[in-house]
Chains A and B, each alone.
Chain A
Amino acid sequence: AQSVSQHNHHVILSEAASLELGCNYSYGGTVNLFWYVQYPGQHLQLLLKYFSGDPLVKGIKGFEAEFIKSKFSFNLRKPSVQWSDTAEYFCAVKSYGNNRLAFGKGNQVVVIP
């Protein structure tokens, strides 16, 4: 079964700092990759997704992620965070032909003004 690893569960940083969250998955082959975000008290919502094509994908609110197939990774980045980026971030992977998403354990990100 697919498994997803996210490291550094708690991340604290100051506004304007750069953010990078790592995501690695276990199973090769064709995959669809997602980053979801959950702001305090809100729904989980999609931040960005990769299905095929350009491995560098851009999402909402200035986030981007890079798919590196050889490393089974899909790392999330933002060059300059804001206080409003305080949230929990989840990486998720779907293997081709499977309706299920495998989620990582999440990164709790706190941005200090």
Chain B
Amino acid sequence: DVKVTQSSRYLVKRTGEKVFLECVQDMDHENMFWYRQDPGLGLRLIYFSYDVKMKEKGDIPEGYSVSREKKERFSLILESASTNQTSMYLCASIRQGNDEQYFGPGTRLTVT
């Protein structure tokens, strides 16, 4: 079974803090994604990566950055957390040519 893990299930941070969300997949997938999930808005793509050190902006990249130094790990960085970044963050991965995305359990981030 594909396994996508995220470093924390729940996280509480203060406004202005730098926040790192980590995602690891164990199936050698080329593509990895970060989404945020908000009630009534569905899943919105923040960033994705199709290879090590490669990244592309999604639909809502403002306020976020990403890092992919190793194939299995994709990090989402909030440089200076703000209250409007309180959300559920989901990581996903997919093998090139295989169209089913596998999701992690999510990190519920609260910024106070």
**A16 located at the interface, meaning its Cβ lies under 8 Å from any Cβ of chain B in the complex:** no
**A84 located at the interface, meaning its Cβ lies under 8 Å from any Cβ of chain B in the complex:** no
- With a cutoff of 8 Å between Cβ atoms, the chain A residues found around residue B62 in the complex are none
Q: What CA separation (Å) do A46 and B100 show in the bound complex?
A: 8
Tally A-B pairs: CB < 8 A: 46
Could you mark each residue 20-64 of chain B with 1 if its beta carbon is under 8 Å from any beta carbon of chain A, else 0? 000000000001010100001111110010100000001100000
Q: Is the CB of B50 within 8 A of A43?
A: no
The tally of residues in A whose CB lies under 8 Å from a CB in B reads 23
Interface size class of B (residues with CB under 8 A): 20 to 34
Q: What CA separation (Å) do A35 and B112 show in the bound complex?
A: 34
With both beta carbons as reference points, the residue of chain A lying nearest to B103 in the complex is identified as: A44
Task: For A99, give its contact among B35, B50, B59 (CB under 8 Å).
Answer: B50
Q: Is the CB of A94 within 8 A of B99?
A: yes
Could you mark each residue 1-28 of chain A with 1 if its beta carbon is under 8 Å from any beta carbon of chain B, else 0? 1000010010000000000000000000
Q: What CA separation (Å) do A68 and B92 show in the bound complex?
A: 28
Q: Is the CB of B40 within 8 A of A9?
A: yes
- Which residues of A come within 8 Å of B, CB atoms? 1, 6, 9, 32, 34, 36, 42-46, 49, 51, 90, 92, 94, 99-101, 103-106
- Which residues of B come within 8 Å of A, CB atoms? 31, 33, 35, 40-45, 48, 50, 58-59, 90, 92, 94, 96, 99-101, 103-106
